[in-house]
Amino acid sequence: MKFSNGCWLFKQGTSCFSPAEVYFTKIENNKVVLCAPTQHITSRGDTLGGINLTVTVTAPMPDVLRIQTEHYRGVLKKAPSFDLNIDGNAPIDAKEDEDSITVTSGSLKLVVDKKTASMTYYRGDEKITSSTGRDMGYVKTDWQGLPYDDGSIKDTYMRQMLSIGVDEHIYGTGERFTPFVKNGQSISIWNEDGGTSTEQSYKNIPFYISDRGYGVFVNHPEKVEFEIGTEMITRVEFSVPGEKLDYFVINGPTMKEVLTRYTDITGKPGLPAPWTFGLWLSTSFTTNYDEETVNKFVDGMFEHDIPLQVFHFDCFWMKDFSWCDFTWDSRVFPDPVGMLKRLKAKGLKICVWINSYIGQESVLFDEGMEKGYFVKRKNGDVWQWDMWQPGMALVDFTNPDAWKWYQSKLSVLLDMGVDCFKTDFGERIPTDCVYYDGSDPVKMHNYYTYLYNKCVFELLERKRGKDEAILFARSATAGGQKFPVHWGGDCWSDYESMEESLRGGLSLTLSGFGFWSHDIGGFENTSTADVYKRWAAFGLLSTHSRLHGSGSYRVPWVYDDEACEVVSTFTKLKGRLMPYLYRNAIETHKTGIPSMRAMVLEFTDDPSCAYLDKQYMLGDSLLVAPIFNDKSLGKFYLPEGTWTNFFTEEKKEGGKWYKETVPYTQIPLYVRENSIIALGNEEKAVYDYEDNVTLKVYELQDGRTAETTVYGKEKIQKISCSVSRNGSNYTVKIKGDALGKVVIGNKEIPFAGDMETTVTV
């Protein structure tokens, strides 16, 4: 939110009260408390009135500092608040002298100047960001002077501004389809259902990350307003309504370490089961379908040699006007239990569409209304409107009985044979309403999705086991990464939408989310065969892959014969890559470093990677550059080093841009030097990855060692491999009771269990 009128003035009627000095300090109970009056205290009389800010500094964990600023402490703290992994504050390392207070957490250091209340953050002796006393402030937008201020907290805000340095780039804030680098953008952390072609976002995360190796998490579930190099060009400003501001500064020094620490606080990405990485096929949204149609789709995929892993029933598995009643439309699905058994006999998992909205025609509406399971209006009425479903109500997940009731309806579907749920919607949540537990409806607007997805995910964990729980979710807030996987929402079916979808996904994975998907071919309208084929290659080299659309089917044969070949080729390729992908997924789950990552995350020191948003790293070793034009022209940048074309084995030197013409059955897919790629011996998502695995060594540099691990389906490490090079001699070490081969250049070295050998290549 912008409060200023240029560098020196505020908007008319607006006044900002910023710390003028630190008057006194208390260091106790693992915290530093600063009394920061907003006027200089020159005499005792100056203490008789005016606005003071209380600043509390704690260290919840090493290399993290938490800053809490308050005006009126007596304002009630209203639910909800983010579910953070903070048991208590770590012992504080604080030193005070006549001029400053220094607080240290690991290698992160905050120095507060007592005379000016400026705050400077260091990594060791390196400054990373700072604020002047003027940057922090308590803002009133209806200010008429202190004698006329009645203490009302309406039209009040807390703000902070942190500096941006020369050549510093800001990323994150959730899944955003606007420019990838956030400098120069005004961003509202406010979930909305706006598609992928506007500044609105389904997944708003009050967290940003800098390529200087630090991040800032604003610990407020309500609307947070970011002004990133807008109101003040050299500042990131963030503001929240009310009397308090709570934020964390998170040190790296690498961007990866920032994400690891941020997800230590908000939760690690859940680990999706291996089958979820296979191809998902949907009925699409408003199409007509029944069991015969579904079987034609499924059998058609197998007939075209396309491994299919999941079949998804979208909205109209339920009767129209009845969403959600969680009851199969008997007019087209007279035997749902039998149908699910028949589909599962073909080796498929089953997903069905749901949301948390209960239309008035649903058989569940009266039950939910009578038992008080819905969000209410202030007068006690059920909150309803006619958008999305006539007379629609919202399940109130703050009510424990409503939570159990909702789970009980889904549990019936799981007993039928459904494996997972697409948890759609959860963005247009009202603020003029009342929740069972008295939660603040403004704070609940963004937080509602967390409770909604948590409710469904916990049921899946209970009924299917923790290793099998999976969602296909659209909306999210901070912490939503614990309930994977998320997809990009409603996009159009053209190259521009394909590009903006990728941009949004890379922004999301720089915000703590490990896995991401999108609608292959686009959602709205129907793409050309050309776009569909290029999108299929991109989609099947994303962590999760789903064919889905709006008013038309997305099976490849409705486009052309070559589309079937393309989908088959890339589905099989993804299957062979599963030992590599699953290893990266496990590391994502452990560390918070995303499996699908922006180039800047992997190559932060390469200035050419700062703005790259049309290519990405899939895991730590594969570079993917989707094609976004109808000329079959691939344009991409390779960072320093030697890169190998996965398909052709052609070598290219890095530090350069390239253009190449690429057939539909290929994509610019390059392997980083000093990598070992584990390739499975099957072309589907689920099999024994360690069985006859091929460990292919790419461009191992002299004096270097490359390492990799192959996990079994049960997350058990089955093989560890290291290869070291000394001149033309390569030393191969294998540990694990499994069969396979190591490939170095034209040499194949078979192994069966533990082995160490040296070969000359």
- Helices then strands, counting H and E runs in the chain, come out as 11, 47
- 8 Å CB contact between 520 and 549: no
Active site residue 702: no
Q: Which of 222, 490, 530, 673 is catalytic?
A: 490
Order of strands across the sheet with 622-624? Answer: 596-597, 616-618, 622-624, 669-671, 642-645, 651-653
Strand partners, 56: 33, 68
According to DSSP, residue 328 is labeled B
Closest of 224, 218, 209, 212 to residue 260, by C-alpha: 209
Distance CA 237, CA 160 (A): 6
Max CA distance (Å), the chain: 87
281: Cβ–Cβ under 8 A, 6 or more apart, which residues?
297, 298, 301, 308, 310, 311, 312, 546, 547, 554, 555
The 3-state DSSP class for residue 428 equals: coil
Catalytic choice (225, 246, 419, 427): 427
Residue pair 675/621 in contact by the 8 Å Cβ criterion? yes
Tokens of 279: 């191809």
CA distance 257 to 591: 9
Report phi then psi at 326, rounded to 5: 55, 35
Instruction: Report yes or no: 706 and 674 within 8 Å, Cβ to Cβ.
Output: yes
Selecting among 63, 193, 424, 690, the annotated active-site residue is 424
> 490 catalytic, yes or no?
yes
Signed CA dihedral, 591, 594, 597, 600: sign only: negative
Any bridge partners for residue 174, and if so which? 204
Contact 720, 736 (CB under 8 A): yes
Q: Pairing mode, if any, of strands 9-10 and 4-5? A: antiparallel
Reading the block at residue 653, the tokens are 């030197």
424 is catalytic: yes
How far apart CA 1 and CA 227 sit, in angstroms, is 7
Q: State the pairing for strand pair 100-105/15-17.
A: unpaired
**Catalytic residue set:** 424, 427, 490
